[in-house]
Structure 1
Amino acid sequence: MAAQFVPYTPDVDTVEPNFDQNLQTVIGKTESYIAESVEAGGTGRALRDAHAKGYGLVRGEVEILDGLPPEYAQGIYATPGTHDALIRFSNGSPHAGADARLGAATGLALKMFGIPGPTLLEDEPDSGTFDYANINAPVFFCNTVEHYLFIQELFLNAPAYFSQGRPGARRFFTEFVTGKGTLDQDNWAWDEFLAFLRVSKTLPANVLLSSYWTMGAVRHGDYVAKVRITPEPSFAAAVVRRALDPASAAEVFRPALEAELQERPYAFDIQVQLCTDLERMPVEDTTVEWSEQLSPSVTVAKLRLPQQDISGPENLEKMDALSFTPWRVTAEHAPLGNIMRARKEVYRRSSIERHKLNQQPRIEPRSADEVLGSAQ
């Protein structure tokens, strides 16, 4: 059975030309945006450059399942057991404000505790934590750091474009496809633009009802994979507040999440999709959805959210102080591809700048209780 899965080797991803130079430009723009957001962002605090608005910090528990097939029992999933966890639900936009202004792209950031082994973050190798930073789409709308230079700029300035109505929207779309006039017509960013349109058409829904993907590929021990966190069907069926109308109130996602968790527990499945064909399931092209027909996602763990109360400003304060990054993982789960590689230093530098400006200590917690207090 294992022969059908692509084995991990260091050459499954390649470093694009001028990667380091382009990455430094992205970091510079990111740090400038965060610094300017203290006054421009509307909250009086430095914002994240993506997923700026959080909907709630939730206590959870991850049960790594026993009896997994050997191809899936890799890395941390080779050892059955339970781990305390924290989950940050968020909007994908780099801006804060009313939900109706931000779109329906959302994120689930997961932090597991008590994971042995050094992480891939050189400045905190022994944190004992393991993160996922997933989005509610199986594709992403940027393939290279070079293209991220203009896509990042467009997204940070998106409100200015769309406030001008149809002319502004047309200019945004034109500058996306043409790379703000930097791309030859044969190399226009059509694949990335079409992926952006697909993500932008996501309908607003309770964040408990979305599936969340790793965006890019990751190593899964001896193999190459993507990881999805998807609602456990029986729990999803019990959700009362399902389709949400962001125009109905300034805040719709957080109140719905609060109410559901006050009334009942919830659960997600953590699933691994192993790569079987690098041509049809590419590492470097994040605009391509990996087909479930080529390789179905297999549940390797359960993420359980107990019934709890996340209301109150202290929940948002504690959530804001946390840091999540796809690189706070062990080597067996290393992110793959240029976009995922770029996230390592961008996330680290973004977190350092934000914590400094907000005068928050940047210390990785050792347990969920350390952040939220003892569970009742």
Structure 2
Amino acid sequence: MAAQFVRYTPDIEVGDPHFDENLRTVIERTESYIAESVEAGGTGRALRDAHAKGYGLVRGEVEILDGIPTEYAQGIYATPGTHDALIRFSNGSPHAGADARLGAATGLALKMFGIPGPTLLEDEPDTGTFDYANINGPVFFCNTVEHYLFIQELFLNAPAYFSRGRPGAHRFFADFVTGKGTLDQDDWAWDEFLAFLRLSKIPPVNVLLSSYWTMGAVRHGDHIAKIRITPDPHSAAAVVRRALDPTSAPEVFRPALEAELQERPYAFDIQVQLCTDLERMPVEDTTVEWPEQLSPSVTVAKLRLPQQDISGPENLEKMDALSFTPWRVTAEHAPLGDIMRARKEVYRRSSIERHKLNQQPRTEPRSADEVLGPKGA
């Protein structure tokens, strides 16, 4: 029996009545952290409040495949063709520094060019770009903006907790579960804490070997989906530098990525997992992994990375000047749920503040060549 995919309707989202008030507080804390990071972050520059450390800016090409089943050939995936792209690989932490201090959560931010139609960003509707901001875990450790308030504070202050050894770690975990003492015991954040523990136990591997999810749900034309960017099996098998030891050197992720791309091209599959059951594949609860047995992920496009040299310091400078947001998409791919909705204004205000403090023009590029120069140059 064929799967019955849930149709997208606006009422699948359940809004929090305190959303706007809590979002304002999140934005204020985010802007404050970015301003303080100029001196406190150790780089002399304003840092992103998440994914602060980038591992490399990579040129790519997205081929949207022909012959995709109709339910998957939605929005931008309804038109086969190729699009130039840029990829930012990063660490998920809001802090910079040696890789061993930052954990193994990594991100893949993808920017496609030449996508027709207005984006959902009112201040830049006609850029022709389309972004994903994915992380190497299928779940997220926060379900509501109210909870994000204390979880954000914990993560921004994580070095102070963990610098005290086991007592500091115990305090961090207790403050996480209890909302720093603000939650009733029946409402302790166990689901979110367990999702955090799951993400924290991801083994450190070459960033080319991880899969990357949207974590939150997105609209997929007539349907509801999560998007995964996962290694092409043949490309993954060719990777030489696989498991990494962050304690072996201050930098391990970037050198491994540089070396692999200097030696060979690489490819990822862009996949869509459609929702078939809102109870078992919820939109608002991002701590729940959508079961593949209910709805497998289907490849709709190939992300190809040509052989290239990303080793120069100018690569990091160009990467730092870019911004990525899950809301730089067309309406057919709108992010869904309160946490995803909060990211719209948080990402925008974060980008504005960071570019202002770093005295960087905040302009969206029109092509990969505009950022990296002509291919082969």
Q: What is the CA–CA distance in structure 2 between the aligned matches of 1:30 and 1:2, rounded to whole Å?
A: 45
The 5 A counterparts of 1:97-176 are 97-176=97-176
- Structure 1 counterpart of 2:203: 203
The corresponding residue for 1:29 is: 29
Instruction: Give the corresponding residue for 1:189.
Output: 189
Give me the whole-angstrom Cα distance separating, in 2, the residues matched to 1:28 and 1:316: 28
Partner of 1:59: 59
Is 1:234 the counterpart of 2:234? The answer is: yes
8 A contact 2:217–2:226 mirrored in 1: yes
- 1: CA distance between counterparts of 2:175 and 2:371? 43
Query: Is residue 17 of structure 1 aligned with residue 17 of structure 2?
Result: yes
Partner of 1:265: 265
Aligned-pair CA distance for 1:61: 0.1
1:42-53 superposed matches below 5 A? 42-53=42-53
Deviations for 1:302-335, whole angstroms, at most 9, x for unmatched residues? Answer: 0000000000100000000000000000000000
TM-score, structure 2 length as denominator? Answer: 0.99
Q: Aligned partners of 2:21, 2:144: CA distance in 1, in Å?
A: 13
Runs of 4+ in 1 over 4 A off after TM superposition: none
Q: Which residue of 2 aligns with 1:339?
A: 339
CA contact (8 A) 2:3 2:295 kept: no
Report how far residue 17 of structure 1 moved.
2.1
Q: CA–CA distance in 1 between the matches of 2:8 and 2:236?
A: 34
What amino acid is aligned across from residue 362 of structure 1 in structure 2?
R
Listed as ranges, the gaps of 5+ residues in structure 1 are none
8 A contact 1:2–1:71 mirrored in 2: no
Map of 1:321 onto structure 2:
321
Q: Distance between the aligned counterparts of 2:105 and 2:3, measured in 1?
A: 36
Shift of 1:49: 0.0
Question: Does the 8 A contact of 2:258 with 2:309 survive in 1?
Answer: yes
TM-score by length of 1: 0.99
Q: CA deviation at 1:14?
A: 1.4
Shift of 1:147: 0.1
Give the secondary structure class of the aligned counterpart of 1:83.
strand
For the residue of structure 2 that corresponds to 1:219, the secondary structure is strand
Structure 2 equivalent of residue 330 of structure 1: 330
Structure 2: distance between partners of 1:218 and 1:2: 22
Query: Which residue in the other structure is 1:247 paired with?
Result: 247
> 1:20: Cα distance to partner?
0.2
Contact 2:3 2:276 in 1 (8 A): no
Identity, % of aligned pairs?
Answer: 90
Residue in 2 that maps onto 1:352: 352
1:223 matched residue in structure 2: 223
Cα shift at 1:12: 1.0
Maintained 8 Å contact 1:206/1:242: yes
Q: Kindly indicate whether residue 274 of structure 2 is the aligned counterpart of residue 274 of structure 1.
A: yes
Distance 1:24 1:280 in 2: 31
Which residue number in structure 1 is paired with residue 374 of structure 2? 374
Q: Is contact 1:84-1:112 (8 Å) kept? A: yes
Question: What code does the residue aligned with 1:18 have?
Answer: H
Q: CA deviation at 1:215?
A: 1.3
Partner letter of residue 143 of structure 2? N
| Partner amino acid, structure 1, of 2:127 | S
Which residue type is aligned with residue 32 of structure 1? S
Secondary structure of residue in 2 paired with 1:4: coil
Computed over aligned residues only, the root mean square deviation of the Cα atoms, in angstroms, reads: 0.7
- Cα offsets for 1:233-284 (capped at 9, x unmatched): 0000000000000000000000000000000000000000000000000000
Structure 2: give runs of 5+ residues left out of the alignment: none
Q: Is the 8 A contact 2:142 2:148 kept in 1?
A: yes
One-letter code of the match for 2:315? N
CA separation of 1:94 and 1:240: change in aligned 2, threshold 3 A: same
